């Protein structure tokens, strides 16, 4: 049995070899000939899994070592009996770390106190929930906007988007990227959104690039912190220079997050094929009791990654992402 695995997925080398023939490949090399006789794929978000790649193949399982699935044509997979497994919440503490570390640096540079500001969190899933909790612990007022959750749960826990836009000093996005449906998030942050965000002084996106319409940002006068970009890896170099923080889609790149993602992919293989595989590590938990804003700021400096990305105008985006030195989440710092 042949299994194709993205070679940049860490901690998985040697795990599947006892039960299958494993081929490791860069995302750019996971193509039709390679996939044709594979039974399963373990990929990252850089591999588009759709009819172009999968038609005529033997693939019956796709595991993505990430939270999102917008790189996978789920309708095609359902129609062709291909199971799909992702890793929900795997890197949520790391993305929250990036977000709060960025806010901490911004507060310091702008000589502001967290207790004087309101944070608007758009999307309150795995990541947004942690961001909201950590921000409240730091003394910030927090507004939560999540229409799908508001429809399912107690609406008093959430606010309407127009209220969030009116009252938030900082707005951070933590939604999936959806292009259709009632709660579409593609270009959610457009010119109308920005015109209504009258108090906002810092706009943060560590979710998906397409949530922000980058053309609309031409008229935005506030500070920007971007980890996710439209048209990655060929990012807007002018926008890069304008950003307060700008990083190459590495907000979720913690050692612990990667271990959780790899563990989720391996467990999906076990469930699908009935295997019993041995991981070389124990997947970490996400305990954050007592974590302070100072702890988070000390655990990660986003300015270092910003400087690295700016050196060549963003041309090294993909190389920096692939060679990124995984950091520790704040609750696991040594």
Which residues are the active-site residues?
208, 232, 249
Lookup result for tokens 């799909």: 84
What gap in Å lies between CA 94 and CA 109, rounded to an integer? Answer: 23
Given a contact cutoff of 8 angstroms between Cβ atoms, the answer to whether 94 and 249 are in contact is no
105: its two tokens: 């640096």
């Amino acid at each position: 049995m042949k299994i194709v695995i993205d070679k940049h997925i860490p901690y998985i080398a040697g795990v599947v070899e006892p039960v299958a023939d494993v081929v490791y490949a860069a995302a750019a090399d996971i193509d039709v000939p390679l996939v044709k006789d594979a039974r399963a794929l373990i990929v990252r978000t850089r591999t588009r899994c759709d009819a172009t790649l999968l038609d005529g193949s033997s693939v019956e399982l796709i595991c993505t070592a990430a939270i999102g699935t917008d790189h996978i044509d789920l309708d095609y997979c359902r129609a062709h009996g291909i199971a799909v497994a992702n890793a929900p919440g795997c890197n949520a503490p790391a993305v929250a770390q990036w977000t709060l570390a960025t806010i901490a640096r911004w507060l310091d540079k702008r000589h502001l106190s967290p207790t004087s500001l309101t944070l608007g969190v758009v999307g309150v899933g795995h990541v947004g929930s942690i961001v909201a909790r950590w921000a409240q612990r730091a003394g910030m007022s927090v507004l939560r906007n999540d229409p799908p959750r508001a429809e399912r749960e107690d609406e008093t826990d959430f606010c309407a988007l127009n209220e969030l836009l009116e009252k938030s000093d900082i707005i951070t996005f933590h939604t999936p990227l959806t292009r259709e449906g009632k709660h579409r998030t593609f270009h959610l942050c457009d010119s109308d959104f920005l015109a209504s965000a009258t108090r906002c002084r810092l706009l943060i996106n560590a979710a998906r690039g397409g949530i922000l319409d980058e053309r609309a940002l031409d008229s935005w006068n506030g500070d920007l912190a971007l980890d996710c970009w439209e048209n990655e890896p060929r990012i807007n170099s002018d926008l890069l220079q304008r950003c307060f923080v700008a990083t190459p889609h590495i907000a979720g790149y913690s050692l612990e997050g990667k271990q959780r993602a790899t563990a989720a992919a391996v467990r999906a293989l076990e469930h699908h094929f009935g295997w019993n595989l041995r991981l070389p590590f124990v997947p970490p938990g996400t305990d954050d009791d007592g974590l302070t804003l100072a702890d988070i700021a000390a655990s990660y400096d986003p300015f270092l990654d910003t400087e690295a990305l700016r050196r060549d105008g963003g041309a090294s985006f993909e190389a920096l992402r692939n060679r990124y030195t995984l950091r520790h989440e704040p609750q696991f710092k040594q």
